[in-house]
Amino acid sequence: MISPSDFLTIPFDDVVNSFVRGFLVPNFRPFFRAMQVPVNEVLQALDGFFAWMPMLIITLVFALVAWRVVNRTMAIATIIGFFFIDMIGLWPETMTTLSMIITSVLFCAVIGIPVGILAASSDTAWKIVRPILDIMQTVPSFVYLVPIVMLFGVGMAPGIIATIIFALPPIIRMTNLGIRNVRKDLIEASESFGATYFQILWEVQIPLALRTIMAGLNQTLMLALSMVVIAALIGAGGLGLVVNTGLGRLDVGGATAGGVGIVILAIILDRITQGFAEPSTSNTSLLGFIASIFKGQSATASDKQKA
Amino acid sequence: MTIKMKVRNVSKLFNDESGEGWKRVQQGQSKEQIFRETGVTVGINNVSFDVNEGEIFVIMGLSGSGKSTLVRTLNGLIPSSAGEIWVDDVDVASCSKEELRKVRREKCCMVFQHFALFPHKTVLDNVAFGLKVNGVPKEERYKRALESLDKVGLDAHADSYPGELSGGMQQRVGLARGLANDPEILLMDEPFGALDPLIRREMQDELVVLQRELKKTIIFITHDLNEALLLGDRIAIMKDGAFVQVGTAQDIVSDPADAYVKAFVADIDRSRVYTASDIAEDASRVPLTARVSDAIAAMDRTETEIIHVVKDGVPAGLLTRSDVESAKTSARVMDIMHAHPPTVPQDAYLNEIYSEAQTGMPLAVTDDDGKLVGVVSAENIFEHLASDEEETGPDSITSAAI
Ligand SMILES: Nc1ncnc2c1ncn2[C@@H]1O[C@H](COP(=O)(O)OP(=O)(O)O)[C@@H](O)[C@H]1O
Ligand SMILES: [Mg+2]
């Protein structure tokens, strides 16, 4: 049989190689290096904080938040889960992973929410953003790693950057969706009172889209967690490293322990952020939201009755 | 009378990128034909009108006639395709965004059919919204919002959320929000259309009372002619994006411009259109000091069966033909008259004077100073309500239009 390659072969790999090595790396290396700086700063601050804070206090805070936004069962489960992690000797690694996750999600929010808002306020912007998101979500996560290593090198920050790229799409999509779904008559009413674009955004659209944005943040968080092991391949530490080392040494026990740690962390973070995204109170302002965490249980209950 | 808003030749075409629709409108093609052949919707077709300061100008028409589109062009929510809209000395149709925002913040607020209250804000914050976007400091804005809420009787619900209130209460919040900025003009797009009939009546009456005190310039949209007649100082009837007739309630009921208006008018409640002075007849009268003989002479002269006794022009008593015939001609009218004759103010609507008329006694119609200006009998009223019933258009028009 004849095939097209008998007549023409395209050296695709060479083309990519020369593009990345010959063009991107020599010309933009300093730029990519500079991009790591803010990531590193945030990561180190968080990592330092979690290392300094006693384990019991961290557990207590998480349990309290779980109690307020989910329920008492979840609070107890949080305590048991964290105690278990500590007892299998993985507390420091878990905290490193937690810092990585929080850093990734933070950057996803900082990048994703404005992009989502932009995409929601202009159909042209959405037409540009949407195919990019589609590609980001279809490219397998392993494929990210090669160019990232080429451009950023190996280590914690490159691992987190890979995680950010992988986890970014849902928060952009959900922000866009949430803002577009705000009732048109409310936008019209705001305009009729002379509100500016930013006033409408801040007073009406963002508060009303907050639940959807939170749901997006939850999905982003889960994607970030799923990258923990993969990011460890390019030098990120934490529980992912435990799993990888375990696999490399055929140490089933060690790998499983790391895996269990990830699962426990995932469940706790998932439930808590889902709690934020559920319409449990009629007050959807961000401050009220945070305040409700610290309010008494009775207040939350009466809010529920109202809603 | 100052003119608050001047609208000149305003048109709005939807989906007319090519300008083909505009050409056809100029040629006088019908809305339906233009839509069928080009897909362009004629929202408003060359509408002009003035709104006087302090009046309620009602725009009424069937669903789809372009009322919402028109009222939204007035504050620029929908940009008009052509024409001028002058609010004082600003042309909303051509001014900058900045000027438009200023008009919306200071001069022209809106009340919506489906309330459009912000579900995440308290009633107070909803009402204060217009002040907030205008940069009024927190304390003053809450104070003014509370005053506004007080006007509609909802100050006790300031901390509730809109979702906790009934429809009627929600629209009161909508009204309070529209009033909070103390705008000169209030645009109301079928504000009571989403309420059930009893609440609607209540709200209409409340608006009338409120307007007496506020004296705002109100542009009020409705599809209900009874509502239009009740509220409107002047009424514009709209059809296919154009005005068919503009006039007072009486103008429209007594002299409909065409079959379309006639069909509307056919089943309205006339008792809410005509006032006592519209149907009053000349009253014969004698002063309090007159003798019975004077009364008889006056009655003979005016060929009436009753006569009012007046003191300084104010009705003080009433005499019928049989009263005067059975009395001595030299007696003083003041001794034989029926004191405290029923009186009605001249601007009372007929539906408000039914009950008084039922006693069978003729009603003295008085002006603002209480002076006698005419007389209305029960027969008068019922005759008037039944009159020109046969004149209304054929049934086919009625059913086609409604
Ligand atoms: N955004 C729009 N795009 C296209 N057509 C519209 C739009 N808004 C209104 N229309 C059309 O304009 C006409 C007038 O509508 P509207 O002003 O809502 O009428 P009303 O308020 O009297 O019921 C209708 O035929 C309607 O279909
Ligand atoms: Mg409408």
Consecutive H or E run containing B56: strand B56-61
Question: Does the CB of A30 have a partner CB in chain B at under 8 Å?
Answer: no
Nearest chain A residue (CA) to B162: A282
Q: How many Å apart are CA A230 and CA A104, to the nearest integer?
A: 14
- The three-class DSSP label of residue B19 is coil
Q: Which chain B residues have any C-beta within 8 angstroms of a chain A C-beta?
A: 75, 77, 101-105, 109-110, 112, 114, 116-120, 129-130, 132-134, 161, 163-164, 177, 181, 187
Q: Does A282 touch chain B (CB under 8 A)?
A: yes
Distance B41 CA to ligand 1 centre (A): 8
B6-31 residue pLDDT tens: 999 999 999 998 889 999 999 989 99
**Chain B residue nearest residue A282, CA to CA:** B120
Task: Report which ligand 1 atom has the smallest distance to the Cα of B72.
Answer: 17
DSSP A285-307: SHHHHHHHHHS-HHHHHHHHHH-
How confident is residue A298, by pLDDT bands cut at 50, 70 and 90? very low
Three-state SS at B63: coil
Give the Cα separation of B63 and B44 in Å (integer). 13
pLDDT surpassing 70 at residue B388? no
Question: Does A257 or A282 have the greater pLDDT score?
Answer: A257
Q: Nearest 5°: phi and psi at B116?
A: 50, 45
**Ligand 1: nearest atom to the Cα of B241:** 14
- Of A25-29, A286-290, B79-83, where does mean pLDDT reach its minimum? A286-290
Within 10 Å of residue B51's Cβ, how many Cβ atoms? 22
Residues of A in contact with B163 (CB under 8 A): 282
Interface ipTM > 0.85: no
In a domain? residue A168: yes
Residue A14 sits at the chain B interface (C-beta within 8 Å): no
**Considering only CA atoms, which of B136, B138, B142 is closest in space to residue B155?**
B142
Chain B residues touching residue A188 (CB < 8 angstroms): 77, 112, 116
Question: Does some domain include residue A3?
Answer: no
Q: Tell me, yes or no, if A155 comes closer than 8 A to chain B by beta carbon.
A: no
For residue A204, being part of any structural domain is answered with: yes
For residue A277, the model assigns a pLDDT of 78
Mutate to test the interface with A, among B122, B125, B129, B170 (most CBs of A within 10 A): B129
Average pLDDT of every residue of chain B: 89
Q: Return the closest-CA partner of residue B239 out of B31, B14, B11, B10.
A: B31
Q: Find the closest chain B residue to A187 by CA distance.
A: B116
Arithmetic mean of pLDDT, B37-65:
94
Ligand 2 center from residue B76 Cα (angstroms): 16
Name all residues whose Cβ lies below 6 A of ligand 1: B 14-15, 41, 43, 61, 63-69
The CATH number assigned to the domain holding A244 equals 1.10.3720.10
Phi, psi of A53 (to 5 degrees): -70, 130
- Residue nearest (by alpha carbon) to ligand 1 atom 20: B64
Protein residue whose Cα sits closest to atom 7 of ligand 1: B14
Judge whether A159 lies within some domain: yes
Question: For residue B240, which ligand has an atom nearest its CA?
Answer: 1
With the most atoms of ligand 1 within 8 angstroms of its CB, the residue from B41, B81, B223, B225 to mutate is B41
Q: Comparing A288 with A36, which gets the higher pLDDT?
A: A36
* Per-residue pLDDT, A286: 54
**Residue A58 within any structural domain of the chain:** yes
CA atoms within 13 Å, Cβ hemisphere of A300: 20
Contact A285/B at CB under 8 A? yes
Query: What is the rounded CA–CA span in Å between residue A101 and residue B104?
Result: 46
Cβ of residue A137 closer than 8 Å to a chain B Cβ: no
Type of residue at A63: A
In this structure, is residue A130 part of a structural domain?
yes
Is A47 a member of any domain?
Answer: yes
- Domains of chain B, with CATH numbers? 3-107+183-268 (3.40.50.300), 277-383 (3.10.580.10)
**CA-derived radius of gyration, chain A:** 22
Say which ligand is closest to the CA of B112.
2
Per residue in B342-361, pLDDT tens? 899 988 888 888 888 887 78
Reported as a single tens digit per residue, the pLDDT across B69-84 is 999 999 999 999 999 9
Only one residue has tokens 């008492």, namely A72
* Per-residue confidence band for B103, with pLDDT thresholds at 50, 70 and 90: very high
Measured distance CA(A300)–CA(A292) in Å, rounded: 7
> What pLDDT, in 10s, does the model give residues A194-224?
999 999 999 999 999 999 999 999 999 999 9
Phi-psi sector, A155: left (phi>0), alpha (psi -120 to 50), beta: left
Closest-lying ligand 1 atom to the alpha carbon of residue B67: 22
User: What is d(CA A59, CA A80) in angstroms, rounded to the nearest whole number?
Assistant: 9
Dihedral of CA A144/A150/A154/A160: which sign? negative
- A185 to B134: CB separation less than 8 angstroms, yes or no: no
User: Which of the four pLDDT bands, split at 50, 70 and 90, describes residue B40?
Assistant: very high
Q: Where would I find the H helices in B75-137? A: 97-106, 123-127, 129-133
Which residue in the set B77, B116, B177 is minimally distant from A186, CB to CB?
Answer: B116
Other Cβ atoms closer than 10 A to B337? 24
Contact A243, A259 (CB under 8 A): yes
Q: From the CA of B31, how far away is ligand 1's center (Å)? A: 12
Q: Which residue has the higher pLDDT, B157 or B358?
A: B157
A284 touches chain B (CB under 8 A): yes
CB-based contact A196 B101, cutoff 8 Å: yes
CA of B64 to the centre of ligand 2 (A): 7
- Identify the pLDDT of residue A213: 93
Q: Residue A156 in contact with residue A163, Cβ under 8 Å?
A: no
How confident is residue A250, by pLDDT bands cut at 50, 70 and 90? confident
Which domain covers residue A131, as residue numbers? 34-306
- What the block records as the tokens of B252 is 């429209």
- Which ligand 1 atom lies nearest to the CA of residue B63? 23
Type of residue at B66: G
> Which tokens in the block code for residue B126?
């909803």
Tally the domains of chain A: 1
- Residues B118, A185: C-beta atoms closer than 8 Å: no
Sorting pLDDT into bands at 50, 70 and 90, what band is A153? confident
Pick the residue from chain B with its C-alpha nearest to A283.
Answer: B120
pLDDT recorded at residue B352: 85
Q: Is A186 on the interface with B (CB under 8 A)?
A: yes
Contact in structure between B73 and B46 (CB atoms under 8 Å): no
Q: How far away, in angstroms, is B66 Cα from ligand 1 center?
A: 6
Ligand nearest to the CA of B39: 1
Cα nearest neighbour of B99 on chain A: A194
Nearest to B44 by CA among B99, B85, B89: B85
